[in-house]
Every structure is written in structure tokens, then in C-alpha cells.
Amino acid sequence: MAHRDTSGLGKVMPLMQTYRTALKEYGRTPMEFPITVECYVGERHATAYEECRGPLEYKYAAYASWELQDRATQGSFEEFARDRFIIGDKGSVKEEIARYRELLGVDHFIMRCQWPGLPQQQVLSSIQRLGEIFASP
């Protein structure tokens, strides 16, 4: 039996399909298809995960302790973050945003860029890089 991903995009994709089916059934046409996602844009892809790992693990460990979010202790942070957060450098984050658009049909992103324990200068640098991704030439 194939393993079915029940977190991140593996969970969101069928929910989005249910939502779109319900919209058609009730004759509704939304103005946009938004998604909220944790996002960190580092200067270099090689270090981006390590830069935000502590604060994100702290946040999701708290969710797990409240039984709001499953956080299996097996596997690396990168495995846990895959298809759940958008983390990387400007190039890889731009590619992930395009992938979310393609897989989910979303056209509006609400990026969470700040978490307890993430230094304010890192937050501001990440937000600036995020803005640079789509800035006009």
C-alpha cells in the first residue's frame, strides 16, 4: 500500500478539491484562492533551513503539545518542512511559490515570516528578500 501524506500539501490538496467542488455545487465564484504558509527567505539556500529551524521547531512543538499539530520526532527538519513551509533562497522560494500555484491553484499568498525566537533583523531581511523576488526589474 502506498504511503499517503497526511500533512502539508498532501493534506491541503484534497481539501482544496473539496472546496472547489462545493463552490461549483453552490454556484459560487471566489475572487481569489488564498493560502497561508510559513515562509523564510535566506540569503543562501544552503543555510536558510538552519537559520529558521529553531523558532519553527519551537512553534510546532508547542502546537503538538496542545494536540493541534502532529510533529513526529523522526526525520530531519527539512523532511518535516517539505510541503509544509516555504524555505530557501530567493530562487528556490520563487520556484516553491510557482509549485503551490500549480498544484493548488492558489493565487494569493499570506506569508507568515515571523515566529517567537526569530531575531527581528532576520525577519526583516527575509521580508525584504521576499519582496525582491517579484520586484519589477
Q: What is the pLDDT of residues 9-32, one digit of tens each?
A: 888 889 889 998 999 999 998 888
Each residue's pLDDT, cut to its tens digit, for the chain (137 residues) gives 333 445 688 888 898 899 989 999 999 988 888 999 999 999 999 999 999 999 998 888 887 777 765 555 456 888 888 888 999 999 999 999 999 999 999 999 999 999 999 999 999 999 999 999 988 66
Distance CA 28, CA 23 (A): 5
Q: What's the whole-model pTM score?
A: 0.82
3-class DSSP assignment, residue 111: strand
Q: What is the pLDDT of residues 111-125, one digit of tens each?
A: 999 999 999 999 999
Residue 2 per-residue DSSP state: -
Instruction: Count other C-beta atoms under 10 Å from residue 85's C-beta.
Output: 20
**Alpha helices in the chain, H assignment, sequence order:** 8-25, 45-65, 77-81, 90-104, 120-133
Indicate the burial class of 121 (C-beta count within 10 angstroms; 0-12, 13-18, 19 or more): exposed
